Structure 1
Amino acid sequence: MWFAVLSSNEVRRKPVGVRRLGRDLVFWRDSLGKVYALEDFCVHRRARLSAGKVINDRIQCPFHGFEYDGNGRVRLIPALGKNYKVPDRFRVNSYPVYEKNNIIWLWSGEGEPEKEPKFFDDIDEDFAYAEFRELWNVPFPRAVENQLDVMHLPFVHRTTIGRGNRTLVHGPVVKWIDEDSFIFYVFNEVDRGQRVKRPEELSGEESRVYLEFIFPNLWQNHISEGTRVVAFFVPVDRQKTMIYLRFYVKMTGLKPVDSIIARLSMPLNRIILHQDRRVVETQERDIRKDVLVQGDLPIMEFRKRLYKEKKLIDFLFGGGQ
């Protein structure tokens, strides 16, 4: 499966070392701008490749100058000369990467990727956006499920987007688009003693508010045709998640102006996210101990899809790091 793991502006010609999915990785670009990802160590004496530099579209180890191509093969050992044929065992693991929508995806899973990663079809290049990112001390499922939770708004966000005391949650309605993405519709209102409706009693088209999730880690809040909040949640290791938040705007038809609007809107988005963080970082780590209710339907659907990924489940709940 494809994981969105970095914003494109984080990777330039200079190598960058990050931890993703419990692995230490190095990313860099060649002279044509193509992105590569390898394990972040030299096979020789285990120095960090991310401390090196890019030479002739190869990444060079800072210790003894070993040069690696984008497939993880050592192509030059300077001490043995340019004519030395480097044995195949001098290699590190490489990972397929894909770049679009100013996001870098990393392939993690069985086999080789057969198709490109999916992004939200209704966000085109005419949108401007502003972005910030921060590291949360929470496991990946907790970070994702916070944005799938339709019941917490009047409590966690009572001074911002949760105003109105709409504590009663009808449904919600979840509609799968394909095997990896679903839309969910929200029907919250003030509790006046009315009966809570089941999902099958509701129609998604009646709701003006809807959200979309693309497995494993992309989320969109469709606020209006010209305003969206997008987030992707990146597992750093089993206990930490890097959260990228983007505010997309297409209001004026002038992208530079919309970029300014997006940037000016980010302080409020940061406040809202920090209201979440204050609570989510108190949650017990293991999601398997939760007792869910009807309003948690989007979370239930996410977990059904999550539990199909054995390798990811082993990483999240298995032994070791």
Structure 2
Amino acid sequence: MSSASYKTSDFDYELPPDRIAQTPVEPRHNARLLVMWRDRPDLEHTIFWEIGRYLNPGDLLVVNETRVIPARLWARKPSGGRVELLLLKKIADHTWESLVGGKRVRPPMRLQVEGGPPAEVVAELGGSRRLIRFTEPIEPYLPQVGQMPLPPYIHEPLRDPERYQTVFAREPGSAAAPTAGLHFTPELIERLKAQGLSFAGLVLHIGLDTFAPVTEEDPTQHRIHTEWCELPPETAERINATKRAGKRVVAVGTTSVRTLETAARVAAPGEWVAPFVGPTDLYILPGFEFRVVDALVTNFHLPRSTLLMLVSAFAGRERILEAYREAIRLNYRFYSFGDAMLIL
């Protein structure tokens, strides 16, 4: 079916609240793994440490190397009132699109970041979004004054902020972690490499829009969020070589899928991807034709979300919802700190 045939309510499901993982599994690679095949009805249940059993020598795992920034700040209004700022996207050297928690925060109000520089509200962007311009770059202050912006459904404080970073994280810029990558450990990476698998990196900086449910009844009317991404030349070369050799490109996470399929849109004839740097507004719904991704490592996603629609496009809506029902029945853990799926 094409995307036009679906309603947003077709991507809904009931999740008992106690299935939402509040803390991560230790060690990371001990998370459970549900394995499903797109060409047969089987489901298998194992742990993430065993993922190599389902992959072949020569397969390439493509991972998102973004790093979550401690993007939650506090500032004071001229009246002394406290305002919460959540940095979403860097627009210019000193200017960020931000979510603002506080009343009557409008241009041209001046704010004083607690422990940081002064700032000015320069524009309203709808809802609680504001354009905030700092008097100097805010990044050097973040390690001291910022807090890690955990998703709204996680209520337990995080004892170790690094636990919300993947082992691949190197390029700061995300407001959320690429959670499929959270299951990898150095030991597992070495185990997979010894098996003849290889890894390549890309970057997509995740905004909090990724968690927002689709509110329009027709999902095609939803305004998809744009995110900055980069597929470097060396990764593009390795992907094209992998495909030419008849091996599989395994996307680790929906963010990797989005970047890879964006890079496919600018590929030369005879190639699968080309290097790409810039914003992507790619919206993947059922009916989408995947050009690059052969297999997908992913977590369990929120109802009515663009991420659930993406995995439904890859594996079929009915198959995905059937697998989710089975995962709920078997007490899998859902969302950012939850268990994983491998879709082949």
TM-score, normalized by length of structure 2? Answer: 0.26
Q: Name the structure with the higher strand share.
A: 1
**Could you say which structure has the greater relative contact order, defined with CA pairs below 8 angstroms and 6 or more residues apart?**
2
For the pair shown, the structure with the greater C-alpha radius of gyration is 1
Q: Name the structure with the higher helix share.
A: 2
TM-score, normalized by length of structure 1? Answer: 0.27
